[in-house]
Structures are given as C-alpha cells and as structure tokens.
Amino acid sequence: MSDTFGVASIAASVRSGALTASDVLEAHLERVAAHEDTIHAFNTVLADEARRRASSVDDRVASGHDPGPLAGVPIALKDNLCTRGTPTTCSSRILDGWRPPYDATVVERLAAAGAVVVGKTNLDEFAMGSSTENSAFGPTRNPHDPTRVPGGSSGGSAATVAAGFAAGALGSDTGGSIRQPAALCGVVGAKPTYGLVSRYGLIAFASSLDQVGPFAMSVEDAALILDAVSGPDPFDSTCLTSVVSPSASNLGRGVEGLRVGIISEMSEAEGLAPDVRARLVQAAEALESSGATVAPVNVPAVTYGLSAYYLIAPAEASSNLARYDGVRYGLRAPGTSDITEMYTESRSRGFGDEVKRRIMLGTYALSAGYYDAYYGQAQKVRTLIIRDFDAAYEKFDVLLSPTTPGTAFPIGEKSADPLTMYLNDVFTIPSNLAGHPAVSVPFGSGDDGLPIGIQVLAPALREAVMFQAAEVLESKSPANPIAPMRSALSLQPSARSAK
C-alpha cells in the first residue's frame, strides 16, 4: 500500500480489519530504526508501550468493538506534554529525571480515540526557539536535507511526520512553533483558537499564547487529529466550555464564494524571499480560479507583532519558569552551602542560554518602573492587532500570508544572532497574540528545492472554514517535495485480513 497512507486511511483500514494496528506500528518503527540516528526527532521512543497499545487496538477490532476515530494511528508527542510515568523533559536539563504522575488531557483524548503514541519528540528548550537547535539533547535535522533545521520549537514533531516516523504528531504553538516547522518540513501544521484545546498537562511557556495543535501529511488528517483532542476540559479554566462544530465539517465543499484577503503587510514584507512571494501569488490565484473572491487587505498593527510578542512571551515565561528551582523536582545542584546558592546554581546549570535570555528579558519587562513602559505597552499593541484582524474579518472569511520568510536554513547559520532567529516567526506571531486559528499548508518548493508553506488565517472558532480553504490550496499545490526517507514506506495488508 502507498506510503501516503495517512491518518484517515490508517484509521479506516484498521477499523475495517484491512490492516492491523500492530503491522502499522512496526512499519513506522522500522523507519525510526533506520533513520532516527540521522534526524534525531525523538527524545524518547516508546516502542514497548506502543506495541502494547497497538495490540490492545487489534483486540478491540477482533472483538467487534470500534477503537475510535484514530484507530491504530501512530502519533508522536512533543516532549512538553505530560505523560504519566514517562520522562517529560521540555528538552531541558532542569527537568532531568522527572516523570509526571498524570497524562495531559490531549494525551488521554488520543488514547480514547485509539491512537498509538510512538514517542516524545525533541524541541527547543521549553519551546523557546525557531530551529530546534536550543535543545539540551542536540538539534533535530530536517528530513529533506539533514544539514538544515526543521524549524521550531516543535521541530521534532514536524520531522517525525515528514520522515514517516509517525502518521501525525502534536506540538505546541506560542508564536508559530507548529506552523513554522510545518512549513520548513513540508507538512500541514495547525494552531487552533485559543481555548479550543485543553492546555492541562502542557508545560507552560507563555500561558496566554500557548496552544496544542496537530501535524499531519494532509489537511484532512490534521483536522481529524484536532477534532479528537479538542473540547471542554474542567481541568483547564482557559478552555472553552461549549462544544463547537468539528474542524473537518466543511471539507470537500470547495471555496466557491469564499472571500479571501491577502495580508499586504506580510505579502510585501521586507525580507520575504522572492520564491516564497511567488508561491503566495500562485496560491492566491489557485483559490481565485477555484471560485473564491481574492483581494488585498491591510492589517496594519501586525507589523508590531514581533516587538509585542518578545515582551509578553518572555514576561510570562519569567513567571512560569520561576517554579524550577531545584527544590521539588528536576535538577538540583550539589554541594551548595545555602538555599540562595542552590537556586542560583540549579537554574544556571539547568537552563540553556536562550531560556536564560528570555527569563532575564521577561523579568526586566515586569520589574518596578518598567512594567507600564514595556509589558503594559505590549498588551496595548496586542489589543490593536486584535482590532485590526476583526476589521479585516468583516470583509473576508479567511486571510492568506506566507508562513515563513524563507525555506529551511542551514544548522548553525542563525543560532549566534537571536534577532535574526526571531524574525522567522514574524508572520505567525500575530495569530497567537489575537488568539485566532491558523494553518500552514505545503505549497510547492523554493528555488533550493525545499518546502514552502502558505498560511491560512481565520477568525476565532472558524477552524472549519480555515481547513475548507486549506484543503483547496492543498489540492492546487505544485508538486511538493517528499523527504527521501519517507518515500520508501510501505504498509501491507494484515495476515488477519487475508484469511
């Protein structure tokens, strides 16, 4: 069977008995064994646990029960999602040895849907980064070109899907950490509306911005994963309390009559690579030829998004990461003479340079005499961004922009210059500040042959129309590059189905 077997196809085949969950899992674990040393997408591979889970799914099918909408689908988890009894590191030494006593809500919901978790993926430490180079365990590499970054901070999750290590994955998106690596790795990545997916068990970076979302090889597959993990949760006070329409509900409807706005501030931005700009124009033309009305739109305040984000996010990180002090769990520096020295040494040894940089920036922005000038002003800019998006959505159903300024860059090229690295998220940050959904869709390749992503943005809780437009973009995409290691995947019919 085709290596393009994705979430929907695997689940349907396992539920019907055409494939067993165990066979599907072994095909993916073989890929992991063959290529993980090159890519380093995982911090932990959970092969034994995954085999037990796959066998349980097969037993349910054999007994005539429906295992769920993600039956037998191999899924990878970003290593900032709590998994009971399994190391959860955030790719940081500060959490060395910590095993959570509970599962994140999204992990429980994947299990209830029949998914099989294959491992915990590498990330920029505490999700702070745009390249997955800021990991205490070393960088993840792009499956299309191992000399290039996969993006970040959810680079490990994006790489697992691009390499065929899993059919889908979960990541977290604070300022583009799902969509940016999705674009660089040539997969679909979606950030949902803030509050649509529970954050319970997601280790916090910036609590007013963080959201959990899916990676997959297709728009349909991403929507199916999102539907499986979304919904109210009494353990998360920021989670929406009402059930909303399924994200996949508009798939197959096309875009006839849909109003699409091209964000001028992003499509004409300084620093946007010419090949990415060309693909954006091509994407707009593809939607227009499919029946959508396409026109430029101004969202002026998005130009201040990067500045506002790098005050708000570090300020919240400074508060959230204060709990990591060597007292209750994680790394504790030995041989210290008093508690202040122990705090200082534990945090100095446990945190990497980028995390320390953001903690210091955030602490400064919150300090007496500077709160109003920096953090307070950034929140006012956030309000302006929300107002400008609201005005745009009065005229348009969805908006279109590049996902990233360019394609995947070489490992080490930008790691010494934080500002250059931060600019990789300039097009994704505004959606986080507004709390709106956005999805990156692969749309051909750049002049270097590496994937390019186009971003579809929508108003809050309009995931269905967002995926509706994204699906048409996907169908009109120029030939997308396939990572060489993914192209060999083959899933064979199960012995059980052949009897």
Q: In the annotation, is 78 catalytic?
A: yes
Which residue, 492, 424, 411, is CA-closest to 145?
411
Name the region of 305 (left: φ>0; alpha: ψ -120 to 50; beta: rest). Answer: alpha
pLDDT tens digits, 207-248? 999 999 999 999 999 999 999 999 999 999 999 998 888 999
Strand partners, 146: none
pLDDT of residue 121: 98
From 9, 22, 135, 177, the catalytic residue: 177
Percent of the chain with pLDDT over 90: 87
Give the CATH architecture of domain 7-237+248-303+382-488.
Alpha-Beta Complex (3.90)
pLDDT of residue 331: 84
Asked if residue 494 has pLDDT above 60, the reply is no
Instruction: Work out the number of other CB atoms within 10 angstroms of the CB of residue 147.
Output: 11
Most confident listed range (336-340, 369-373, 441-445): 441-445
d(CA 362, CA 464): 36
Domain boundaries of the chain, sorted by first residue = 7-237+248-303+382-488
From 78, 120, 191, 414, the catalytic residue: 78
* Residues in the chain, overall count: 499
pLDDT tens digits, 464-485? 999 999 999 999 999 889 898 8
What value does the mean pLDDT of the chain take?
A: 94
pLDDT of residue 477: 96
Asked if residue 4 has pLDDT above 70, the reply is no
Q: Across residues 7-28, what is the average pLDDT?
A: 96
Q: In the annotation, is 153 catalytic?
A: yes
d(CA 18, CA 116): 17
Q: Which carries the bigger pLDDT value, residue 495 or residue 146?
A: 146
What's the whole-model pTM score? 0.96
Asked if residue 413 has pLDDT above 80, the reply is yes
From 9, 92, 153, 431, the catalytic residue: 153
pLDDT of residue 1: 32
Asked if residue 2 has pLDDT above 80, the reply is no
Asked if residue 164 has pLDDT above 90, the reply is yes
Range in 102-111, 304-313, 320-329 the model is least confident about:
320-329
Asked if residue 490 has pLDDT above 90, the reply is no
pLDDT of residue 328: 78
**Burial of 417: CB neighbours in 10 Å, binned 0-12, 13-18, 19+:** exposed
Output the CA–CA distances (angstroms, integers) from residue 363 to 26, 163, 208, 469, in the order listed: 47, 39, 17, 41
pLDDT of residue 228: 98
d(CA 437, CA 459): 7
Q: Across residues 279-286, what is the average pLDDT?
A: 98
pLDDT tens digits, 99-145? 999 999 999 999 999 999 999 999 999 999 999 999 999 999 999 99
Q: In the annotation, is 356 catalytic?
A: no
d(CA 392, CA 298): 7
